[in-house]
Each structure stands twice: as C-alpha cells, then as structure tokens.
Structure 1
Amino acid sequence: MTAPTHDQPLVTVLIACYNHAAYVEASIMSVLNQTYPNIELLVIDDGSQDDSVTVLSALQARHGFDLQVQENQGLSRTLNAGIARARGTLIVPFGSDDIMLPHRIATQVSYLAEKPEVGACSANVETIDHHGQVMGAREQRHRDLPFRRLEFDDLFLGRKPGPSAATLMFRREALQRVGGFNPEIRLEDIYITLAILRAGYYIDVLGEVLAQYRDHPTNTFKNGRFMIDNVLRTYAEFSDHPDYERVCMRFRNSMFLKFAKNNKPLARETLKQIPLRHWNRKTVRGLFRLLAPRPPQHPS
C-alpha cells in the first residue's frame, strides 16, 4: 500500500471469525492487499472451536493487525463491539470466509465521496466454492446485476435485488443513527440494511463485482430454520408497515418452496403458517414437490 493522504478517509474493516480456520487467511490477506492505503483492520475471533485462533495468531504476528479473542457473543454483538473501537468514518463488516478484490475499498470510497445521502454502498459478488474455485453460471445470481439505488420499500417489498453482505460499506454516522446491529437478531445484514433505509438513507449497489462470496456447507442461508426465524424476527421490527403481513407471507411461501423437496418437516411446518388467502404459485409448486414420491433407492 502507498501512504495515505489527508483526503483519504480511514476505513475500518471488521472481520468476525467463527470456525473458519480453512478460509480466514484468504479473507484477511485480501484486505491487506487492497490498493487503498488507509485501512484499519480489526479481527475478532468469536469463540471458535476449530483452529481459527492458531491461524489468526500466526497471521497477526506476521502482519500486525488488531486481533481480539473472546468467548462466543454472536455476530451482531461482536460487530457492535468492533464498531465501538473502530476509528474509521467508513465501516466494512467482512465475512471471514469471503475475499475482497484488490480495488474494492478504493472503488467504494471514491463512489461515496460527496454522497452524504447514501448510508451504505454495496456491489456485485462472484460465487466461489469452498476450494476457492469460481462456480458455474447457474450459481452466479449476483454477478451481473445492474446498478440500483435502494429505498426502504425497494428492499422490504422485494421490488429490487438487495445488497450483498459481502460488499457492504457503511457510513459510521448511519450505523450510529440506527443504534448499530440488533443483538437479538443473528442474521445481521438484512436488519441493518432495512434499518438504515428506514432512517432515510439510500443504499447504492454498484453494478460491478468487488468481492467473491464463498459457498460452503456451513453457509448461514443453508440453515432453513435459522433463516426463517431470523428473517421473520427482522421483519417484525418493521411491523408498522402497511404491507407487513404480505411481506411475511411472501417470505414464508418462498421458504416453503425452497425446502419442500429436501426438508419436508420444515416445509410442512411453514405451510401451516400460510393462510389459504396468501397461497400463490410458489405454494402450489411447493405442494407438488412436497407430495412427489421419493425416487427409488437402488442398492449400492
């Protein structure tokens, strides 16, 4: 990195690691290799049970970033504690399993300059597998989306694709205005983006790839019950919206369809929570999946 100048704001990158020993070195090195010179890196291990602390300690000894090791507090509490210690005016919570492209921070800092109405900036991502290999075109749902400016209803009502958590850069003042992350909600990115939009800021999503999102067996979105519980808990924070019930039922229908084939008990439980008046095409498609006979198992 070149030396920072007075007109380059300090960016604090927060990496909270939990059982990502296999991935966290690539994540940290992608931050250290940024072309932007004025970065503060805070790394927190949140009670990992694997070899993460050993990996992090060796990296910290070589590169000198700020490392804290703590008992498990959960991601939202960990990020709030990191924000309280951060010195940057721009805050980047970053997954310990994802990878930044080298120009990511520089691109977003430049974009946010002179745009005080934008509380957060995001961008597209490229999906990689757990080995770091780029996945096929069918898995690249967030790689080629166009630029979009989001208001609250755009995200809450699903009018436009939302921001990618792997590329979020927040203004510190926006995080402070909404009180930071909600410690009672473990799916942190949906809540914080909705809260910032509700506070009157825009979120702008750039139409270029600035990070690689790692798809692996322990991704949060693959835990169906966790996703359903935490998304609905997030929506409940905005229950005064006139379309609150419709938004919740739209989400339940999507989850019913998603899990009707591979998690039938969760699908049946979800279906019971969808009144007939809220059934739609996804409900019908999910019913076909749910009731379809299993293919015969051939002996090996």
Structure 2
Amino acid sequence: MSINQPLVSVIIPTYNRATYILDSINSVLNQTYKNVQIIVVDDGSTDLTYELVKTKPVVEYYYQENAGQGAARTKGLSYCKGNLIASLDSDDIWYPDFLQLCVDRITGYQLDFVFANWDQQNLQGDFNSFLPNNKTLLPYTSRSVDFWIEFSSTELRHIYVQGCPSPSSSFIVKKEFLKLGWNCEMNIADDWFMQLDIVLKNKCKAACLITPVWRKRISGTNICDHRDSSEVIEKLYVEDLHTILNAFNAYLTKPERAILSKKFIEASVFSSFFKFRKERDFKRGFRQYMSSLQIDFLYTTKFTLKYVMYRFKRKYNLSKL
C-alpha cells in the first residue's frame, strides 16, 4: 500500500440486527478501497448475530454485555489499528466508492475529518438525499467544488453547535482526535458529543461530500428514528444536551452557549408540559422545568408564554387569528 492508502479501521456496533448485519459487512467488503480492518462489536445480542458474523472470517468479532452504542464504539476503538477511523451502523450500507472518495479527500487535502451525504429512508420506504433537508449545511452548498464543501474551524464550530449533520455512518476521522472515544452516558447523541469534542477543542479542517454515497435504513430498532418525537426530545435535547452543556461549558463562547441553552430550554419546556398533560408525571415535569429556569429564567419564562399561547390557539382553532 502507498502512503496515500492508509489503513481504515471500521467499527460496526450491533445489537440484535441479524436481519441487517451481513448487508453492512458486505458493503465494507465490497468497497473499491481495500485497506480496511473490520471490527464488529456485539452489544449483547440474543439473536443469530454471532453465527452470521462468523461466516466472514476476515471480520474481527468482539462481544460485550449490553451497554449501549457509545460503549460498543469505544470498545471497538480499543482494537483499531488504522490511522483513520470510521463507524458504520449495522443497519446502514456504504456504496462501493464511499471509502475511496473519503480517504482521497482527507489525504489529498490534509483534512482532519470528512463526512458524506446519504440517502435517507422515509416512512413510505423510499430513499431520498438527506442534504437538501439540512438547513444548517444547505447555505454552504453553493460553494462546493467537485461535489465537496470545505469548512474552516470557525465554520465547523458554528455547524456543530447547531446540531449533528454527520451521523456515525457518514464520518471518517483521524484516530488522533478520538482519544476519549464516544461518551457512554449519551442516550442518542454519542456522535454529536464526540464531534463537538473534536471541533471545540481543536482547530480543525474538514469537508462534506454532497453526493449521497451511503444509505441509512430505518428499522424498528433504530436508536433515534424508531422513537416517538416526545421521547426523542427528552432523551436527546433534554438529557443528552444537559450533559453536553456541562461537559463543554469551558470551551463554548457566550453565543455558542446561548444557542445550546435555548435548544435545551425549549425542549425542557415542551417535555415538562408533556409530562404534565399526558403522563401525569408532575414530579419529573417540575424537575425538568426547574432545570431550564436555572439556566435562563427570562428565556424560559418568555418561551413558556409563547408555548402556552401556541397550545391555546391550537386547542381552540385560533391559529388564523
């Protein structure tokens, strides 16, 4: 292998995905880029995952008691030999040129990480390019060159404070930036936490491929996509975001902290009212609401009034007034 063909270690965390796991593994084996190490970390599966993975002798298989996707990825990282790290979810599929395009960009342009657009499965089962629906990345697409958009360190901070545009299956990064692995406390946002850790603590250069080169499938066991909206809001934008705010407080600028705080407050207000109205869980609802008041009393009050007015208009069909 030449210096421009570095080893890519691919971590595939999985939990009871026997239906999909071989498709994901085969999508790595069928890459035009061949210098890969494939690591499957089984997060306590009780189906036929082990038997299926063992039909692929080239794949390294490791088992752990169920501890979540963040813990599985981090365990996989401990076995990685490559200087470039990728993590493919076990129900996703890379198109054959995914790795070649991404590795060529990192090595050819001295980048720290890259991520790529994908085809997202909708509720009807059809696949559509995700990027046109991403409001954070869309303003940058006009300056793409050869279907790639490069970002400065400042732009990366702005993008990732807004949210996570690069789920695990889209993302390839230099190993040196993954000293801590993935945060095992995250319910959903282990990717977002890891990527914020990179862009907030380092002056990075990165790029995004706007051509879809992988496929994200939706199944009944997806970490995020199978949950209803109220659960996603509570797990991601209340619990996970609260951890993110505490972890990165010293690295955030005042405007960045304000953006994340507002996301947390809005989610907390919604979630607390949902607990009051639907679940009758007044204790947890009150505790969530108080946490938002402690972060920003004035904005919490303002948003509460706005939310109550929205609920009132919706209930009495006054939205046109």
Quickly name the TM-score band, shorter chain normalised. Answer: 0.7 to 0.9
- C-alpha contact 2:12 2:40 (8 A) present in aligned 1: yes
CA distance in 2, matches of 1:21, 1:95: 13
- Render the CA deviation track for 1:205-251: whole Å, top value 9, x for unaligned: 22221221223344333342221211221222111224265133321
Q: Tell me what 1:22 maps to.
A: 19
Please name the residue that 2:85 is paired with. 91
Count of matched residue pairs = 284
Q: Distance in 2 between matches of 1:79 and 1:208?
A: 26
Distance 1:27 1:259, change over 3 A: farther
Give the Cα–Cα distance (whole angstroms) in 2 for the partners of residues 258 and 60 of structure 1: 46
Deviation at 1:55, TM superposition (A): 3.5
Q: 1:254 to 1:155 in 2, by over 3 A?
A: farther
What is aligned with 2:144? none
* Partner-residue secondary structure (3-state), 1:113: helix
Query: Does residue 172 of structure 1 match 2:175?
Result: yes
- What is the match of residue 104 of structure 2? 110
Shift of 1:88: 0.9
Match of 1:298 in 2: none
> For residues 58 and 137 of structure 1, do their structure 2 counterparts lie closer, same or farther at Cα, with a shift above 3 Å needed?
closer
Which residue is equivalent to 2:36? 39
**What's the secondary structure of 1:97's corresponding residue?**
coil
How far apart are residue 66 of structure 1 and its match? 1.0
CA deviation vs aligned residue, 1:171-197 (integer Å, no higher than 9, x gap): 011213xx3223333431111111111
Give the CA deviation at 1:99: 1.3
C-alpha RMSD over aligned residues: 3.6
- Alpha carbons 2:273, 2:285 under 8 Å: kept: no
SS at match of 1:232: helix
TM-score when normalising by structure 1? 0.78
The SS at the match of 2:117 is strand
Secondary structure of residue in 2 paired with 1:9: coil
- Give the whole-Å Cα distance in 1 for the aligned partners of 2:269 and 2:99: 37
Q: Secondary structure at the match of 1:92?
A: strand
How far did residue 93 of structure 1 move? 1.2
| Paired letter, 1:25 | L
Query: Are positions 1:163 and 2:163 aligned together?
Result: no
Residue 14 of structure 1 aligns to a residue whose secondary structure is: strand
Residue 261 of structure 1 contacts residue 290 of structure 1 at CA under 8 Å; is this kept in 2?
no
Match of 2:114 in 1: 121
**Alignment check: 8 A CA contact 2:92 2:216 kept:** yes
TM-score calculated relative to the size of structure 2 = 0.73
Q: Report the Cα distance in structure 2 between the residues aligned to 1:261 and 1:137, rounded to whole angstroms.
A: 34
Which residue does the alignment assign to 2:67? 73
Q: Is the 8 A contact 1:125 1:142 kept in 2?
A: no
Larger deviation, residues 25-34 vs 278-287 = 278-287
Aligned to 2:185: 184
State which of 238, 241, 247 in structure 2 corresponds to 1:231: 241
Q: Structure 1 CA distance, aligned partners of 2:190 and 2:74?
A: 11
**One-letter amino acid of the counterpart of residue 35, structure 1:** T
More strand by share: 1
Q: Counterparts in 2 of 1:46-65, with a 5 A limit?
A: 46-49=43-46, 51=47, 54-65=48-59
The worse-fitting range, judged by mean Cα deviation, of 149-158 and 92-101 is 149-158
Q: Which residue is equivalent to 1:206?
A: 209
Identical positions, percent? 20
Paired residue for 1:193?
A: 195
Q: Which has the higher helix share?
A: 2
| Residues 166 and 262 of structure 1: CA distance in aligned 2, closer, same or farther (over 3 Å) | farther
Native 8 Å contact 2:41 2:64 kept in 1? yes
User: How far off is 1:123 after superposition?
Assistant: 1.3
Distance across 2 between alignment mates of 1:288 and 1:260: 16
Counterpart CA distance in 2 for 1:41 and 1:23 is: 16
- Give the equivalent residue in structure 2 for 1:246: 258
Query: Given residue 183 of structure 1, which amino acid in structure 2 is its aligned partner?
Result: C
Residues 159-180 of structure 1, C-alpha deviation per residue, up to 9 Å, x if partnerless? x87333321001011213xx32
